[in-house]
Structure 1
Amino acid sequence: MNGSRGFSLLELLVVLLIVGLLSGLSVAWLNAGRSAALQALDGLAAQVQLHAAQARHSGQLLGLRWNGRQPEFVRLEQQRWVADPWRPVAWPTELRADWPAGTVPPVIFTPDGVVAPRLKWQWPDGQQHWHWLSDGRLARAEVP
C-alpha cells in the first residue's frame, strides 16, 4: 500500500494564502475607523504646507478656519476673508476642531511665516495637536 500521509506542498500554500488574505482583511477592517480621520488630517496638513508656501512666495495673506463642519482655506480680499474653493474629498463627520467656527481664521499664513495658536483635532478614538515650529514647519503630535 503506497498511500501518502500528510498534505502536499500545494495544499499547504493554498491554506497559507487563505489565512494571509483573511488576516489582511481583518486588520484593514479593524483599523478603518481611525484611518479615515488620520487620512483626512494628513491631506489637510499637506494643503496647509502648500498654503503657507503660497503666502510666503506671493505676499498674500491666507488663512485656515473652521466653518462648523469642516476646515476651509480663506484669503484676505479688500479687508474681508473669502473662502477658497478647496474642499476635502471626504471629511469625516466625527473629526472636529477644538476651536470655534467663525469668519476670522485662527491660523494666518503671511509672507513672514505662520501666525497660529496650537490647534487640536478630536475624533472618538483619539486626537491630534498641531503647532508651528520657529522655522515654519507644521509639527503634529497624535494623542490617544
Structure 2
Amino acid sequence: MTDDLALDRQVCFALYSASRATTAAYRTLLADLGITYPQYLVMLVLWERDGRGVQEICHALQLDTGTLSPLLKRLESAGLLERRRLGGDERRVTVVLTDAGTALRERASDIPARLARATGLGGPDLERLRDVLLAVGRNLHATEFGVP
C-alpha cells in the first residue's frame, strides 16, 4: 500500500526542495554581480524592456508594491536603476536602467546556461520543466486554492 502522506510523495515538498536548491545556486551565481536573486528578477524584467512602471513590474513578478519598493531602492542605491515620477502624479513611477544597469546585463549573460548545466538536465527537459511549472502556477492561481 502506498502512503499518500509520505514526504517523498509530496509535490509540494519536491517543489520546495527544488526551489531552495535553485535559489541557493542563483545566490552563488549572482554573488559576483553584487545582486540578490529577487533583484536579479527585477533586472530581468527591465532588461527585457526598460522604462516600465512600478505596477507593471509588480504584475510581471507577481509581487506587491510593498515587496518591490525595497528591491527598487536597493538597486537604485547600487546605481543600477532610477525611479522617475511621471508628471505631477506622485503615485506613478517609471523605472529606468542606468548605464551601469544596462552594462550588468552583459556580465549576467552566462547565468542561464550555467544554471542549466548545474541542473544536469538538457535543454528540452528544462523547457518542459519550465512549461509544466508555469502551468502549475497558472492552474493554482485559477482555483480556489490559488493565491491572489
* TM-score above 0.5, yes or no: no
More helix by share: 2
Q: Which has the higher strand share?
A: 1
TM-score, reference length from structure 2 = 0.29
TM-score using structure 1 length: 0.29
Mark the structure with the bigger radius of gyration: 1
